[in-house]
Structure 1
Amino acid sequence: MSRDALIVGINNYQYEGLKYLSSPAEDAEAIASILEQHGQFNTIRRLPEAIKNLDSTTKSPYISQKGEVSLKQLKDSLVKLFKPETNQIPDTALFYFSGHGIRKTSGITEGFLCTSDVHPDREFNGLSLKWLRELLQESPIKKQIIWLDCCHSGEFLDFSEANPQEVGKGRDRCFIAASREFEEALLDINSKYSVLTKLILEGLEPDQYNEKSITTLSLSNYINEQIKQIKGNLQHPIFTNLGEPIPLTYGQKIAAENPETTETSDICPYKGLRYFELEDHHWFFGRETLTKTLLGKISQKNFLAVLGASGSGKSSVIRAGVLYQLKQGLTLQGSADWEIKIMVPGNQPMFTIAQQFLEPDLSRIQRSHQLETAESLLEKGSDGLKRLIETTDAPKVLLIIDQFEEIFAPDTDKAERERFIDCLLGAVEKCNGKLKVMIAMRADFFGKCVEETYSGLSQQIEENLVSVTPMKEKELLRAITKPAKLVNLPIEPLLIKEILKDIENSPGSLPLLQDALRELWKQRDHQGLTLANYTKLGRVAGSLNKRATDVYQSLTIAQQLTAKHIFLNLTQLGEGTEDTRRRFLKTDLVTENHDQASIDAMVQLLADEKLIVTDRTQQGDEVIDVAHEALIRHWELLQQWLDESRQQLQEQRKIESLAQEWRDRGYKNEYLLQGRWLKECRQKQQYLTLSTRASEFLEKSAKHQLMSRVQAVGLFFIIPLMGTYLGLREIQLNADTKLLENCPEKQEYCPGRREALQRLVKASKSLAYFDLDNANLYKANLTNANLYKANLEDAHLEDANLYKANLNNALLNNANLYKANLNNALLNNANLRYANLDNANLRYAKVTNANLTNANLHIANLTNANLEDANLEDANLTYAKLRYANLYNANLEDANLYNANITPRQIKSTCNWDQAFYNDYWDKEKREWIIDHEANKAYIEGLKQDKASDPKTPPDCSKWE
């Protein structure tokens, strides 16, 4: 590690308008001395420098009280510091200045560091801070430290370059200015140093605070805290720290809470996005006061409402706090004997509460019988629930309903919601204290409780409310440090300060805090949890967003589509409230575009990354859920998807809800759709991503309606006369053809189009001239299909088999042909602008005169393909196989041919030659192609000259044969 410093302290000025200063030289020498003693700097240069003899052989430099510094000296020294003319560039450069500073406001406001030779009356003002900023921008030094102890030094920080975007360039910076741009820097009346320098000297002393090292960030924090305590202070230092903290000084002492050295455990003491469960009680700290409050309330009341912001820790304090204490029975006498049931209502709360009264370890038949009994009792409302409570031998039954807001989800039947609330509140009143109910609900849903009477729910909440308020600083300290102490995990004290500052005034930040701590634990080193790693992770607010985005971007394109599909389905769209989590059956995630295998694999991957959680219902169905609503609120990419898809999702959810009701009612025909509702839903089906079950629901509805009509008009007499099944099949296919022919051009959807298309494809019928705009042909078998002039703009053709398909003149703008098989396909004159042909098989394909501008042909196989006269401008052909492809007259202007398998002799073109093509030859002995870069370069230059001399005459391409 190489570190250089330039320390400047100027007392003397030639200009009469600038008074002599007594402290700058003292200030600067003190800074230089402490850096020499503790800073491990290789070189510390002083200005103005003087030398004193310590003895006959030893000389010591110091900053002269009477010396002067010219502008040229200061500029040359700064250039040498930040732009050294050497290959050995230091890792860190520090510049300290103490002296006069002036600010000019004539037209353009500018700040200057005054050198001894300044003369403001002659517009000679000293070192321009603008010049210094530009020098730092061009400097190769990665770690830059600037401390300015002079009047108006804040002018230095007023510039656009000092922003966090530069962190991505690997540059770390610390700027400290003694005062704002309009303020003067002052001398400390109780010290020989200035106010700022005195605080810097104190903050740089590591042994005084038992720190391993002092960094730029810890120094800034120290100065900021101390300056607040100075009464009547007229000076306000300014700080900017970009990138990672830079070490400044190193101490001899090491703080140790325990003198014994113990090994750090490999157990992570933080929960991440998951709430604390009962078994996690030993990691749960900081909510002791709230836990006691809740225990006291539930001992006295039979109904308790726990309300707080999403992410405030309601679920955790109930499970790892209240539930654990009740099970222990040490706080409330006899609570260990209580029967405690905890549930999340979902969109069928009556069914969910019935499940709470099933005995464990039952066979499927036994469970079915018990569930039927419980449901029949609950049909009687509160009286039925009272009877279920009375059957238990426990002295009390505590029913905890977490995420109570789920009963207000749009897909929850209003009548069932009312029955559920009436059942709960009525049973509490009728059970004479044996039933206690505790609900936990997001505070922003309280407004939903007052929209209807709901058996007096809002009044009950108001009278029995405990609000979950943000944790205090001491509580947060316990939540951060206590779990770490249990596993002997060190935490940098400054890291704790930064975390506390980041989550200040953020009532819903607890899951983000736990997630950031968990990620920090994964990045731990011998120093434990460090501020440097915290900064890399994006701090509290950015950690989750960054991690979720990193996971998503690590997926393939197909996997990304599946992940997006899952997260959208796990989000309950808010109606006057924020979006919330939505528990979802995994089987309902299977759609036409997302098969069971891809869903299973993605759910496992996302669960391993702790972004979603999985569970099972008592019926054995697997349900999935987001790890926490914080993911919905803070993942920017998911928010973007929701904004883009909100209207379609709302329409999709309505159909899914109808399909669920059909399923819940035993797949009875009376719950199928008919008439206008069916017609509208079938129209919407064309552009919605419905589950397999919902699609089946619409298919069954359509067939049921058709049969009803057939029976109504007596067509069952005619059908036998129409011939065999083959005849009926041909009638169907003819009807499908007619349907596609009548679909209006560019219409967003057409009822039944998708199904008709699939039947025609399966029957290998011609699709010539059809408008297939936005068609979903995922994995479709289009072998030998006639798609002449077909409109496939934006079509989804991923993995489709288009072997020998006729796509001449087809419109394929933006089509997704990822991994499509286009072997021997006809694509002459086809429009493939921006088409995705990544990994596509185009061997022997005919693509003459096709428009492939900006197309993605990454790794595409174009062996022996005919691309004569094709337009490949700006196309991505990286790693593409183009051996023996015919590229005669093809336009390859600005095409990306990096690592493409291509030979120059394949190309005969009149296009520009800015993109170099390798001149290569086959080495028979080595049996490989040898690239001749120099020959290629010379030949390209020759071609350019030929073309420049006579632009109308094509270059001689005979040499390429």
Structure 2
Amino acid sequence: MPRAEKPLAPDGSALTAFAAGLRALRENAGNPSYRELARRAHFSATTLSDAAGGRRLPSLAVTLAYVRACDGDAGEWERRWRATAAELTTPAPAEATAPYRGLDAYDREDAGLFFGRDRLVDTLVAAVAAHRCVVVTGPSGAGKTSLLRAGLLPRLSGAVVFTTAGERLPEGDALVVVDQCEELFAPGRDDDRARFAAALRTGGPRVVLAVRADFADRCAELAGPRETPARVEVGPMTADELRQAITAPAARARCLVETPLLTTAVALAHGRPGALPWLSHALLETWRRRSGTRLTLAGFQAAGEFGGPAAGAAEAVFDALGPPGRAVARDLFRRLADPGEGARAVSADELDDTPLAAGVVERFVRARVLVRDAHRLRPAHETLLGAWPRLAAWLEEDGAGRRTHRELTQAAATWRRHHRDPSLLLRGAHLAAVRAWARHPRHLTVHERAYLDASTAAETRPRRRGWLAALLAALCVLSAAAGLGGQPVCGPVALPRADRCPDLCRPAAAAPAPDNAEALDLG
């Protein structure tokens, strides 16, 4: 017989009540062994037994697996889990200093909490020592500002001036670090850009230019043809760097990051540079919900992980848009989700390049909801798809139509890449299906509309030629009948080929009988 569980301490705590509820659920399910529950839940028997042990709050995933294995109500238990997690969190003392910066960039005074970028800082310091101009580039949200402020500046000696794009560059030997250089390429900044380029090309101070990846080449051109700037790429952290960035700041605050939390956080952020701000935000909220000195997976999940805060930021941006901007946002996010495949990246040629569309994209990028690199736009994290209720509702609408739209988008992009090759146009049943879908109100980009119009025009040209040939054939018959002097026609009449019909425009008596003729029986 299975070994009996240890009795729970009658302390009346929320944790004990939660464990007792799980035990009661198992008892109502017939008291299956934990080995049997493990087979049903796909978690180990030890993990499931610990969930009802009352020593710590299990993760949400383990809780729901336990509940489903006992035929319980998963929705009810998820609400119960979140309420218990909220009750178990310990508010941070007012005087305590948080070890994470959340969505804010790390600054010079935060250098003691800036971990995981030592290798990249070394590379940047070496580039600055060897070159008069260095371009630091990477996707939005990759941590360029934190790298410069908390990584580079504390490692440099001498005068350093940190500024933003458009401000006048100081003269002298100071190193000038310019953040967010992409702002120089905004509409109406031509004079600022020209003045900035002139300062770089006339032998001004040494500079480090931080710029988003999609503007890196244009920013490098500001230095002029005489000098090629060094380039330092800010990419995703490795798994080891992420572990250091998570655990080292907590250790400075005399806290411990539990292994399940560390494993989960690294898995969510690895390979996704745009997820770093949300990782820092989630860790800050987890620290605020810590259990004593421990940062737990339960606290991380109670904070919403990455998806919950990102969804809140997305909804705030959407609410601030007017009706035209909201229509653009709806189309944009529907494009960022592949039917049945989760989040995807879209290239620039899949999007409208109107000022309205560009402004909507920029708002979501600045809110760190979307990430833009040199060529593509993508969600900061795929958990946004399930965490943002508005987006989930959009994605539930017309799944088949979204697949049709996706196919049209891909075909139009291929057509443009191949210089509008006519052989790549839609035809036949495929074109008919797309046209039927497009009869309803749809948002098509200029490129998609041009491709669909070209396909439609190409499809109708053969029909017009067929109608013209039939019309010419009829004219030929009438002309031949007129040549008979109006006499009744009783029998076959020679019908010239369509390309010889102009000959019949001559007087009937002069019209030669063609050698290559078809017989038309008029009855």
Higher helix share: 2
Which has more radius of gyration? Answer: 1
- TM-score, normalising length: structure 2: 0.49
Which fold has the larger relative contact order, with Cα–Cα distance below 8 Å and residues 6 or more apart in sequence? 2
